Structure 1
């Protein structure tokens, strides 16, 4: 039996963990969980693995690790043998650390806010409440959320000038972490023809054999095209 078990939720950050494992060529098994089709929440059964009931979570022997960024770093340190991490102390290393944190600290919050407000707009509610709720959602989305996303995409586009990857010359764990927010941005956040470097980067990660194998392992994933 593989030492590593991935508790994997469809259409989630967990896909990055499968990609990381495939890039490292590690032996692992996947336990799949499906979102509720109406609420899009993870099933209660995930709480048996981690108290917050979220994915991804991995088990590596007796060790349980949650949070996708922590999992990616753990796998790199524990099983990577120097792969996918630039030379410690180098400029590329610090760029790698920066983008690792940027992915969840800066890139994801406005994308999640847009998702929430989009759902408010399309949700069922008493007819008298719809204009108020949808008006508030539209105002916050147009005045704050979308300008934040637009500014971040322009920034990321500029940062890829002269680079194939976020940390420099080679694929790193920074690129694995950045995959989910940029896939989400292409799906629902305005990433398009005005961002040719980001689109080229997405094409490059989607073409990697390890990425394709991870899709086969993970099942439904709406953000890769």
Structure 2
């Protein structure tokens, strides 16, 4: 595996960039970690972070002096293509579970996260649960979680018998995001068991402590509730 000591992960704390740290730890990839705290009043990324990339959102990586890349799926594909050529954390198109791998790698941010974001904003705006748009997003989330539950009833990992980058992708909506927008996984016992399994991975433990030291992520059925001072910390 090629090494890249010039790789920098710009991690916005309490954000989906935690997945990039975990991916690099799983790959054993050398990297520099630069962490940024959210604004204590608005919870937005600080100006220094937003200036890193034209989109202004997490995650952002830099690789050497020529590459600055944002967008979670793009960052994952870049790192896997360049630094995991043997496919340690991916499945080839010839693998029978390749459709599962590629679907969950992209559906997490393409389907689950947009639904969660809309539901969070609806909750912040105190919109009734029976608002048509809210019902649509809740239905999409429910169908995604049901599909995930069925998949994890068959396999130990989201793409099958093997741990892949698609599992890293699931981290944020199932854990960190539930600090901001608590929701229950009580109806999904296989997802809860899955969180217990991945929570024991050494690379995940190391990555989370590096990125957000002491943060209590919900890894069970219930989501954490942020108090008046912000998300819960140890």
TM-score (norm: length of structure 2): 0.82
1:153 and 2:145 correspond: yes
Cα distance in 2 for residues equivalent to 1:15 and 1:166: 19
1:41 and 2:44 correspond: yes
Aligned to 2:99: 94
- Give runs of aligned pairs for residues 164-179 of structure 1, distance below 5 A: 164-179=156-171
CA RMSD of aligned residues (A): 2.2
Shift of 1:114: 1.3
Query: More helix per residue: 1 or 2?
Result: 1
Query: Which of 171, 186, 192 is equivalent to 1:193?
Result: 186
Cα distance in 1 for residues equivalent to 2:177 and 2:35: 25
**Pairs aligned (count):** 212
Aligned to 1:223: 217
1:18 and 2:11 correspond: no
- Give runs of aligned pairs for residues 50-89 of structure 1, distance below 5 A: 50-61=53-64, 62-80=66-84, 81-89=86-94
Greater RCO between the two (CA within 8 Å, min separation 6)? 1
Aligned to 1:129: none
Q: Could you tell which deviates more after superposition, 208-217 or 32-41?
A: 32-41
- Deviations 1:180-210 (CA, angstroms, capped at 9, x unpaired): 2222575546342221110111111111000
For structure 1, the residue ranges without an aligned partner over 5 or more in a row are 122-133
Does the 8 Å CA contact 1:35/1:43 hold for their aligned counterparts?
A: yes
Does the 8 Å CA contact 2:118/2:137 hold for their aligned counterparts?
A: yes
Does the 8 Å CA contact 1:11/1:222 hold for their aligned counterparts?
A: no
Say if 1:42 and 1:140 are closer, same or farther in 2 by CA, change over 3 A.
farther
Name the SS of the counterpart of 1:176 in structure 2: helix
Does the 8 Å CA contact 2:22/2:203 hold for their aligned counterparts?
A: yes
Cα distance in 2 for residues equivalent to 1:189 and 1:106: 18
- Deviations 1:102-135 (CA, angstroms, capped at 9, x unpaired): 01111111100111122223xxxxxxxxxxxx45
- Give runs of aligned pairs for residues 120-159 of structure 1, distance below 5 A: 120-121=125-126, 134-135=127-128, 139-140=131-132, 143-159=135-151
Does the 8 Å CA contact 1:45/1:53 hold for their aligned counterparts?
A: no
Cα distance in 2 for residues equivalent to 1:14 and 1:159: 25
Query: Which of 167, 171, 181 is equivalent to 2:173?
Result: 181
TM-score (norm: length of structure 1): 0.85
Larger-Rg structure? 1
Cα distance in 2 for residues equivalent to 1:88 and 1:154: 25
Name the SS of the counterpart of 2:44 in structure 1: coil
Say if 1:32 and 1:185 are closer, same or farther in 2 by CA, change over 3 A.
closer
For structure 2, the residue ranges without an aligned partner over 5 or more in a row are 220-234
